[in-house]
Structure 1
C-alpha cells in the first residue's frame, strides 16, 4: 500500500475504501475525505467517509466472525501461534509501516521507527497470556466445588487517535486477538493509512475474515455511529475527555465494558537533589517528543525554588536548540503538529499565557524558516512563572508546550501536581529513595515515572483516574477485561433435598 509523499497531481492520490470481512470494500456512498501530510499540507490519499450503514456492515461482519467456528472454536494454542505470527508479520513490514506513519502523522522518522519496533512485543506478550491463562477453583463453604469459566466478551468497538496510530491501535488489537474477541476500528480521519495497511498485512498473515474490520470517517459522524451501535460488547477509545464522555455515555446504555484513555496534564516534580542538566533533558523529552501531542506530555514542570532559575534558563536554551524540520529526515528532532487547527490551538494558548502574565522564555510562534513549507510547524514553547490558576497550567494544550512553576516544600509540590481535573501520568526527579516512593504514593494518577518519562511495557498497566479515563490497557488487566466470567457451583453430595418438606418439619418441631 504505497502513498505518495509529495503528489504532483490527483492521479497520484490513492483512494481507500473500508476494510470489512477481510477485504477492502467501497463505502455506502461515494463521499471521501482528504488525508494530508502535516509536513507539507499536501493531500496524500483519500478515504471513504463511512456511514451508519457501513458501521452496521462492519459490526455484522465482526459478530459473524466472533460466532463462527473458524474463530470461536480455534484452540487457545492455535490462536496464540496465530497472534505470534501476526507479530512476525508486523516486524517483516516494519520499514513500510514506519515510513508511511511518518508521512501520515508528521512524527520524526527516528521517533516513529523506535516506537514501532516495540509493537510486535505487544502481540507476543498477549499470546503468552493466552497460553498461561487458568480459570480459578474457589474454596467455598460446604460440600461444593466452585470454579470459573471465562468466555471472550465479544465485539470490541475501537476509536483510535492521530498521535500514535499504530501503537495505540495495537495496544487494543493484541488482547482482542489473543482473547478470541473481534473488532471494528474507527481510526482518526487524520491518520488512517497505517491502520488500513496493517489490516491487509494481518489478513495476508492468516487472520480470519471479519476479525479485524475498519470503518474510516469523521468522529462526529462515523465515530458517533460506531459508539451508538447497539451490538458491541466493549468500547475502547483513546482521545479527548469530551469525546470519551460522549462515547462512554452511549456505551453505558448497552452496558458495554469500557476502556477510555483520555486527556492528561502531566506534572513533573523536580527536587533540588537531582542534577539540573539531567532534569532539563528529561523535561525536553517529556514535553516535546511527538511534538507534544501525547496524553502524557510533560506539560507542567513543578520545580523547587532552589534550582528554579537555573532550570528555567537551561530548559529555554534546550527548547531553542531543537532542530525543527521535515520529519522524513533523520536529522529532524521536531516535526509538525497534525493540522492547522491544532497549530492554531497551540498559538491560542501562547496568547492565553501572555494575557495571564506568564513569562514566555522560548518559542511561542511558527519557525520562520518553515513558514513557507505548507506544513503545520510550531516552535517548542516554554512559559515560566506560571501559577496554578492559569489556563496554561490547568488545560491540555496537546502540542510542544510546557510551563514551569516553582515550589518550596514537598507538600506544596504534591498539592500543585494534584491540582488538576486530569490524572493520567506524573513524573518525579529526585535521588532520595524515600521521597520518590512517598511522593509517588501521594500523586493522583495512574502512571508515575521516577527519573524517567514516556516509558511503557506491554506487561505494565496503563491508564488514568479522574477525567483521564477508566480501565487499563496493557498487562493482564487489559487481557482479563476481554472476558466475561461465569461462576459454576457444583454440589458434591448425594444428600436428598426438599426445601418445603424441611421447612415444614422445622415448624412442627
Structure 2
C-alpha cells in the first residue's frame, strides 16, 4: 500500500518488512509487531521483528554499499548535490509525512508541521559543510610537508526513539550522507512508519541502494543486536540512560565512535524580573509540547519566592486550559502519550507526587471524555516539590512538571544542578550579566536564555553527566564521521643513513 493510500484510509493495516538494499525484504523471523495509533489505540500497521541474522544482513549490505564505487567514488560536489536533492524530495513529500507522523506518534498536527518542515534544512546545512570542508596543512620542523586527509568512518548504527521519529533520525542521517558514510537504522517499534516512508522517498530520489538500511524490531532484541554488531564504526542512540550505557559499552568494545543522547530533567530557573505571563507561557510550552515526551522537557521549574505563588497559579490555569484531543484536529493542543505503558508511568509519578507531599495544582488523571480511547493524560503540575523527591529527580517522560521555590541565585544554581542528568537547562531573566553568569555554572550541554527547545542544524546538541556523550548538529557532528589521516612528506634530498651517522641525527621518532 502506498503512503498516500495509508493516509486516506486510517483503518487500513499495512504490513512492512525490513528495508535493505533499496527495498523492503522479508525478515528471517515470521513474527510481526503491532503498531498502534496512540490517539485511538487502533492497529494501523504490522512490522517485521528483525533477528541478529537480519541485522547482520543489513550491516553487511551497508558495508558493501560503503565500499562500492558508486558511493565511495562519488566526489564531494556530486555528493553535496545529491544530499540537496534528498532535501528537495523530503520537502516535496512533507504533507504526506505530516499526516503519517501524527497518525503514528500522536503529536498534534500543528506540532508535527512546525517540526518536520525544518528537517530538509538539516540536509542542506550538512551538504554545505561537505562543500566547505578543508583539510589542514600543518607547519612542522624541518623540510617536510605535513597534511591531513579525512576519510569517512564507514557504517553507522542508529537507534531512534518514538518521540520525534523523523527529526531525531535526520539529525544523524544528514551528516551520514554528507560525509560519505552509510547507516543501518533501528526505529522505535512504536513509530517506524515515517522512517520506512523516508527510505522509499530517498531511494526514489537517487540515494544508492544500501546506503540507508532499516531493521525494525524491539529494543532488547533488534536494537541489542545492532549495538552488538562488531562491524559498526559508530553507534548513535537517543533513548534512556540504561540503553545508552549498554550501547556505549559495546561501542567501546569495538572501538567505535558513539553519540548518545539520553535522559534529561531540565531545570528552568525563573527570576522575578522576567515577565510573569511570558514565564508561564514558556513553562507550558517547555513542559507540555510533544505531550512532555521530550528529553528536554521543562520538568523542574525553579521559581523565585517573590513570584512563586503567582507563577504556580498561572501555570495551573494554563495547564487546565490546554485543549486535549484528536491530534489530527487543528484545534487540538495536546495529544496522547505513545502507549498505555507510558500513560501508566505518568500516573505512577502522580502517585509518587502525592506520597512525597507535593501539592497537585493541575491534571493528574485521564481526561473523562477520552477515557475510552487512546492514551491520553492531563497536563500535570505539582507545586512545593522538594529536591530529594522522586518527581524532582527522576525523568517522567510525559506531560508532567514540578515547581520548587528559591530565594537566592546560589540556591537556584544548586537546585538546578541537583540532578544526575545534564542535557538542557533554561533561564528566565532580563538581567544580562546574571543570565550569562548562571548559564556558565549550570551543568548542561544546552542552555536557553529566555526561550526553550530552540535548535538549529548549526548549533551543537548533546548532554553531560547521565544525559550522554557526543554532539549532534553542527561541525561537531559532521566531523565525527571521519577518521583523520596524517600524511608526512619529506621534501628534501639529503642522504639518510641512521646507522652510518647515528650521533649526527636529530629527529623525533
Give the TM interval when normalised to the shorter protein: over 0.9
Match of 1:90 in 2: 90
Match of 1:456 in 2: 455
**Does structure 2 retain, via aligned residues, the 8 Å contact 1:5–1:44?**
no
Match of 1:467 in 2: 466
Cα distance in 2 for residues equivalent to 1:119 and 1:402: 28
* Structure 2 unaligned blocks of 5 or more: none
**Cα distance change of structure 1 residues 5 and 414 upon mapping to structure 2, 3 Å threshold:** farther
Match of 1:360 in 2: 360
Cα distance in 1 for residues equivalent to 2:393 and 2:488: 51
Match of 2:296 in 1: 296
Q: What is the deviation of 1:203?
A: 0.2
Match of 1:14 in 2: 14
Cα distance in 2 for residues equivalent to 1:460 and 1:407: 31
Cα distance in 1 for residues equivalent to 2:180 and 2:246: 28
Q: Mapping of 1:344-383 within 5 angstroms?
A: 344-372=344-372, 374-383=373-382
Match of 1:415 in 2: 414
Cα distance in 2 for residues equivalent to 1:177 and 1:187: 18
Q: What is the deviation of 1:3?
A: 2.8
Deviations 1:222-252 (A, max 9, x none): 0011110111100000000010001111111
Cα distance in 1 for residues equivalent to 2:464 and 2:302: 20
- SS in structure 1 at match of 2:499: helix
**Does structure 2 retain, via aligned residues, the 8 Å contact 1:7–1:42?**
no
Cα distance in 2 for residues equivalent to 1:245 and 1:166: 23
Match of 1:405 in 2: 404
Match of 1:445 in 2: 444
Cα distance in 2 for residues equivalent to 1:308 and 1:143: 68
Cα distance in 1 for residues equivalent to 2:103 and 2:156: 28
Match of 2:270 in 1: 270
Match of 1:138 in 2: 138
Cα distance in 2 for residues equivalent to 1:324 and 1:466: 35
Q: Mapping of 1:201-212 within 5 angstroms?
A: 201-212=201-212
**Cα distance change of structure 1 residues 336 and 313 upon mapping to structure 2, 3 Å threshold:** same
**Does structure 2 retain, via aligned residues, the 8 Å contact 1:267–1:300?**
yes
Aligned residues: 502
> Which 10-residue stretch deviates more, 430-439 or 139-148?
139-148
Q: What is the deviation of 1:494?
A: 1.3
**Cα distance change of structure 1 residues 48 and 505 upon mapping to structure 2, 3 Å threshold:** closer
- SS in structure 2 at match of 1:255: coil
> Which 10-residue stretch deviates more, 491-500 or 467-476?
491-500
**Cα distance change of structure 1 residues 125 and 75 upon mapping to structure 2, 3 Å threshold:** same
Q: What TM-score, normalized to structure 2? A: 0.97
Cα distance in 1 for residues equivalent to 2:250 and 2:349: 31
Q: What TM-score, normalized to structure 1? A: 0.97
Deviations 1:356-404 (A, max 9, x none): 10000000000111111x2000000000000110000000000000000
Match of 1:75 in 2: 75
Deviations 1:244-263 (A, max 9, x none): 00111111100000000000
Q: What is the deviation of 1:140?
A: 1.5
Match of 1:249 in 2: 249
Cα distance in 1 for residues equivalent to 2:228 and 2:422: 27
**Does structure 1 retain, via aligned residues, the 8 Å contact 2:460–2:471?**
yes
Cα distance in 1 for residues equivalent to 2:496 and 2:465: 51
Q: What is the deviation of 1:322?
A: 0.2
**Does structure 1 retain, via aligned residues, the 8 Å contact 2:7–2:100?**
no
Match of 2:383 in 1: 384
Cα distance in 2 for residues equivalent to 1:387 and 1:487: 54
Q: What is the deviation of 1:490?
A: 1.3
Cα distance in 2 for residues equivalent to 1:3 and 1:454: 31
Match of 1:147 in 2: 147
**Does structure 1 retain, via aligned residues, the 8 Å contact 2:7–2:99?**
no
- SS in structure 1 at match of 2:338: coil
Match of 2:6 in 1: 3
> Which 10-residue stretch deviates more, 13-22 or 495-504?
495-504
Deviations 1:322-359 (A, max 9, x none): 00000010000000000000000000000001001000
Match of 1:116 in 2: 116
**Does structure 2 retain, via aligned residues, the 8 Å contact 1:126–1:174?**
yes
**Does structure 1 retain, via aligned residues, the 8 Å contact 2:35–2:46?**
yes
Q: What is the deviation of 1:495?
A: 1.5
Deviations 1:433-489 (A, max 9, x none): 000000000011100000000100000000000000000000000000000000111
- SS in structure 2 at match of 1:454: coil
Q: Is the aligned partner of 1:238 residue 2:241?
A: no
Q: Mapping of 1:494-505 within 5 angstroms?
A: 494-503=493-502
Cα distance in 2 for residues equivalent to 1:140 and 1:353: 62
**Does structure 1 retain, via aligned residues, the 8 Å contact 2:7–2:96?**
no
Q: What is the deviation of 1:6?
A: 7.2
Q: What is the deviation of 1:503?
A: 2.3
Deviations 1:30-87 (A, max 9, x none): 1100000000000000000111111011001100000000000001000000000000
* Structure 1 unaligned blocks of 5 or more: none
Cα distance in 1 for residues equivalent to 2:48 and 2:502: 68
Cα distance in 2 for residues equivalent to 1:455 and 1:5: 33
Cα distance in 1 for residues equivalent to 2:85 and 2:286: 33
